[in-house]
A and B are shown apart, each in its own frame.
Chain A
Amino acid sequence: MKKALALVIAVLMVLSIVACASPASSNTASNSDSGTPANNAPAAATSSDSENITLHFTWWGGDARNAATYEAINAYMAKHPNITIIGEPVSWDSYYEKMLTQLSGGTAADIIQADYKWASDIVLQGMPFLNMKDGPIDYSAWAEMPAEYAGNKDYVMGLATGINVKALWYNKEFFEKFNLTPSDDWSWKTILEAGEAVNKADPNSHLLWANSDNLNAFMQSYILQLTGKHMIDTENYKITCSVEELTEYFNYVKALFDTGTLPPIEDLVVYEGLAYASQVPEWLNGQWGMCMTYASNTLQVLNDSTFEIGTMLYPVMEGATDTGISMMPTQLLCVNKASPYQKEALDFVEWFLKDEEAITISGLQRGIPANTEAAKLLEQNGVTNAIINESIAVAAKHAGSAEGPFDTNAELNAAALDYIYQVAYGVLTPEKAASQTIDAMNAILATLK
Chain B
Amino acid sequence: MKHKRKSYNYQRSHVAYVYLIPWMIGLVVFQLYPFLYSLVLSFTDKSMLTGGRFIGLQNYVAIFKDPNFKKSLVATLAYVAITVPLKLGFALFIAVLCNQKLKGIGFYRTIVYLPSVLGGSAGVAILWRALFSGRGLVNSFLTKIGLKSVPWLGSPNMASFTIALLAVWQFGSSMVLFLAALKQIPRSYYEAAKMDGAGAVTCFFKITLPGISPIIQFNLIMQTINAFQEFAAPYLITGGGPLKSTYLYSMLLYDNAFSFMKMGYASALSWIFFLIIAVVTLIIFGTSKFWVFNENE
Determine direct contact between A and B, CB below 8 Å: yes
A15 CB to closest chain B CB (Å) equals: 12
Residue contact A418 to B49, C-beta cutoff 8 Å: no
Are A125 and B50 also in contact (CB < 8 A) when A20-B29, A425-B156, A427-B243 are? yes
Whole-angstrom CA separation of A110 from B202 in the bound complex: 68
Closest residue to B29 on the A side, CB-wise?
A20
Task: Verify if A104 is at the interface (C-beta below 8 Å from B).
Answer: yes
On chain A, the residues within 8 Å of B155 by CB distance are: 266
* A273-B239, A421-B241, A425-B156 given; A96·B258 CB < 8 A: yes
Cβ of A308 under 8 Å from chain B = no
Is there a chain B Cβ closer than 8 Å to A272's Cβ?
A: yes
Bound-state Cα–Cα, A343 to B156, Å: 53
Beyond A100-B49, A266-B134, A421-B243, whether A125 also contacts B261 by CB under 8 A is yes
User: Please, how many angstroms separate the alpha-carbon atoms of A428 and B133 in the complex?
Assistant: 25
Given contacts A125-B49, A410-B255, contact A272 B239 (CB under 8 A): yes
Contact indicator per residue, chain B 136-173, by CB within 8 Å of chain A (1) or not (0): 00000000000000010111100000000000000000
The answer to whether B154 touches A411 (Cβ under 8 A) is no
Q: A103-B49, A128-B49, A425-B156 are in contact. Are A414 and B259 (CB under 8 A)?
A: yes
* Neighbouring A residues of B154 by C-beta, 8 Å: 264-270
**B109: interface (CB < 8 Å):** no
Kindly provide the distance from the CB of A447 to the nearest chain B CB, expressed in whole angstroms.
9
Contact A100 B239 (CB under 8 A): no
The contact size tier of chain A is: 35 or more
A104-B48, A104-B49, A125-B47 given; A265·B258 CB < 8 A: no
Contact B133 A411 (CB under 8 A): no
A-side contacts of B239, CB under 8 Å = 212, 272-273
Q: Contacts of B156 on A, CB cut-off 8 Å? A: 425
CB of B242 within 8 A of chain A? yes
Kindly name the residue among A16, A268, A281 whose own CB sees the greatest number of chain B CB atoms within 10 A: A281
Knowing A272-B241, A418-B244, the reply to whether A266 touches B50 (Cβ < 8 A) is no
Does A126 lie within 8 Å of B49, measured CB to CB? yes
A411 with B241: in contact, given A13-B22, A126-B49, A128-B49 (CB under 8 Å)?
Answer: no
Residue B261 contacts which of A100, A272, A281, A422 (CB distance < 8 angstroms)? Answer: A100
| Residue A121 at the chain B interface, CB threshold 8 Å | yes
Residues of A within 8 A of B (CB): 13, 16, 20, 96-97, 100, 103-104, 121, 124-126, 128, 212, 264-273, 279, 281-282, 410-411, 414, 418, 421-422, 425, 427
Which residues of B are at the interface with A, using a C-beta cutoff of 8 A?
22, 25, 29, 47-50, 126, 129, 132-135, 151, 153-156, 238-239, 241-244, 255, 258-261
